[in-house]
Amino acid sequence: MHGPLTVKNLLRYAKSPSATVKEVQGWIKSVRILKKMAFIDLSDGTSSQTLKIVVPRQDGTILKQLRTGQSLKIAEAIWKPTPTREQPFELEAKADDLKILGSVPENYPLQKKYHTLAFLRTLPTLKHRSNYLGALLRFRSIVENSLSEFFTSRDFTKTNPPILTAADCEGAGELFSVNAQSSKGNSDVNSYFGKSTYLTVSGQLHLEVLALALGRCWSLIPCFRAEESDTNRHLSEFWMLEAEISFVDDVRVLTSLVEDGIKHVVQSCLAQKTSIFPTIVPQEGAESPEMAIKLWEDIVNKSWPVLTYTEAISLLEKQHDSIQKFTFPPQWGQALQSEHEKWLASYFNAPVFVIDYPRDCKAFYMKQNSDGKTVACFDLVVPKMGEIVGGSIREDNYELLVQEMERRNMNMPSMEWYLSLRQNGSAPHGGFGLGLERLVAWLFGAQNVRDGVPFYRSANGSIEL
């Protein structure tokens, strides 16, 4: 027993229709009632395109009750080719064959007119029905599927590092702690697992365990940071794609992998570009479809520059000294600020890999370069969004890793398990983490990562549902 025909399916088979279509269902996007005809745009959420329904007027029918937002069932309709119009067909139905399944109140907020993103965000149960945010969610799904294809084609195993963990991957602080809510009453702190338990900030350390067993693995898991920054690039709960690959000791293998992966995604997007975007996009906070598609073409056609941190600082200093001051003066040894990253990407008008950062700017597990000052790592910075991927070769030598952890005064006993990997069949390996909401928002031309996830959690944000 099959489910109903979807609008996406009806549009896909537009060229070989049967004369009669049964049980078409969706939500009314707009309705216009003229003298002889009523015109309905119907969407069932499976496509950014709507079905055009034409209904000859009949008095005493439900036509006058139709309103935007209602769900509608059309028992039967006749397929009519419309070769001169954008959609190659329309469906003609009798008014008696229409049935309103669910109505809307008079003040239903998603009327046909244009809505700002700020307004839509105030409607957490309805906003996904807007053309733009609905399209953005479908886009995210395309991106996820395409990433999955890519990693499978490269012999990576999809896997699942844990969310509940005792490890604080980067020592970054800003953790969420977890307690069991006992059925007997108050929560008993830390008693359930016998020690302090946190939500993971990154699956990397666990992925390293798995990479030394499976060779190549990737994961897509929610990560959590109790961020205090409330920006358009930060979420408290975000999805992170991480990959880890063994028998690699050159950071350029990692940058090539990232470049190939994102290009693969963008190729998939280009292949279906006409159906991805809605016809109307918000006037603020969103690029036009034309701009996004131009971005995609640039992404696949260019080879992405790779420059060292030292080269990047030198470019930034030149800019700072001669042309335009940054808020934070660039200086060797300091982290790159978001303004620096964005400037670099816009200077090259392309995604840019910055590699070999100073060791003290980066995490303890990164492999030191032979210069004694930098580590074999990279960040991918892209125009407008800044950093979207970060990765490194990992230190696989036990003594060097212990030395670096001691230098940083880290808690060694809690990291015993991680260190032990370097004593048991250790192998050169490296990997990276990619913020999925940042990738999705950047590629779609959306300027706020909050719109890249259906229900966002952020600093100063409340949890309404």
Query: Which residues ranging from 235 to 254 are in contact with its own copies (CB under 8 A)?
Result: 236-237, 239, 245-248, 250, 252-253
Comparison of 48 and 368: residue with beta carbon closer to its own copies? 48
Comparison of 3 and 372: residue with beta carbon closer to its own copies? 3
Cα gap 369→332, rounded to integer Å: 16
Member of 46, 61, 268, 319 binding its own copies (CB under 8 A): 46
| Residue from 453, 458, 451, 457 nearest 132 by CA | 451
Comparison of 158 and 318: residue with beta carbon closer to its own copies? 158
Other C-beta atoms closer than 10 Å to the C-beta of 107 total 6
Other C-beta atoms closer than 10 Å to the C-beta of 174 total 14
For residues 277 to 316, the per-residue mask of contacts with its own copies, x marking binding by CB under 8 A and - elsewhere, is: ----------------------------------------
Member of 150, 224, 296, 444 binding its own copies (CB under 8 A): 224
Told to check if 174 binds its own copies by CB under 8 A, we report yes
Dihedral Cα 6, 10, 12, 14, nearest 10 deg? 180
As measured in angstroms, the least distance from the Cβ of 262 to its own copies is 16
Question: 246: which strand partners?
Answer: 429
Q: Which H or E run includes 102?
A: strand 98-102
As measured in angstroms, the least distance from the Cβ of 36 to its own copies is 28
Member of 52, 90, 120, 140 binding its own copies (CB under 8 A): 140
CA 23 to chain CA centroid, Å, is: 34
As measured in angstroms, the least distance from the Cβ of 384 to its own copies is 23
Q: Which H or E run includes 243?
A: strand 237-246
What residues from 367 to 396 belong to the interface with its own copies (CB under 8 A)? 396
What residues from 415 to 454 belong to the interface with its own copies (CB under 8 A)? 417-418, 420-428, 453-454
How many chain residues bind its own copies (CB under 8 A)?
Answer: 120
Piece in contact with its own copies (CB under 8 A), picked from 82-90, 204-212, 348-356, 441-449: 204-212
What residues from 102 to 131 belong to the interface with its own copies (CB under 8 A)? 102-105, 108, 124-126, 128-129
Counting Cα atoms < 13 Å in the Cβ hemisphere of 62 gives 17
Q: Computed from CA positions of residues 201, 375, 315, 257, in that sequence, does the dihedral angle turn out positive or negative?
A: negative
Cα gap 166→206, rounded to integer Å: 11
